Amino acid sequence: METKKKPPSNRSAREKALIIAQTALQKKPVNPIALQVEGLCSFAEYFLILSGTSTRQTQALAEHLRTALGKKGIRPLGVEGEEPGQWILMDYDEVIVHIFLDTVRDFYDVEGLWIDAPRLDLPAGPFPGGER
C-alpha cells in the first residue's frame, strides 16, 4: 500500500466522514453505512461501508471519491484492492472507506464485527447536478 504524508486539515473527523459519504452517495452505492468506531478502534474514527453490484461499480465509486474529494483537498493516504474491485479500502486517515462487491460484503460482514459502533446518519442531499 502506497502511503502519503498526511496533509494538515481544519475539518473534524465527523465533517470529513459526512463529506466523503455525501460524495459517495452521488454514485448510488448499495446499502451505505457509516459507523463511528472512535474509542473502539485505534486507527480510525469512522468507517464508511459501501457496496456495488459489480466490480465496475465498485471501481467507479473509488475513482469518483478519489477525483471529487481531491478537488476538495481530501486525498487518500493509501488505497488497496482497486484493481480486483471486490473489496476496495481507501484510507482517509481518521475515515476508512470500505467499498465491497455486495456478495463479498455479505461474506466478511464488517458491520457485524463492529456491532457496538454507533451508526452515523448519512446526508440526504442536495446533490450537485441533481445526482443521487
Encode the chain (132 residues) as per-residue pLDDT tens digits. Answer: 444 545 555 689 999 999 999 999 999 999 999 999 999 999 999 999 999 999 999 999 999 999 999 999 999 999 999 999 999 999 999 999 999 999 999 999 999 999 999 999 887 654 443 343
Burial class (CB in 10 A: 0-12, 13-18, 19+), 9: middle
Specify the pLDDT at position 129: 38
Residue 78, C-beta contacts closer than 8 angstroms, at least 6 positions apart: 1, 2, 3, 4, 90, 91
Specify the pLDDT at position 132: 34
Dump strand ranges (E) for 21-69: 30-36, 46-52
13-121: CATH number: 3.30.460.10
Specify the pLDDT at position 122: 84
Give the HSE-up count for residue 91: Cα atoms under 13 Å, Cβ half-sphere. 14
Looking up cell 498526511 gives 6
How do strand 46-52 and strand 95-101 relate by DSSP bridges? parallel
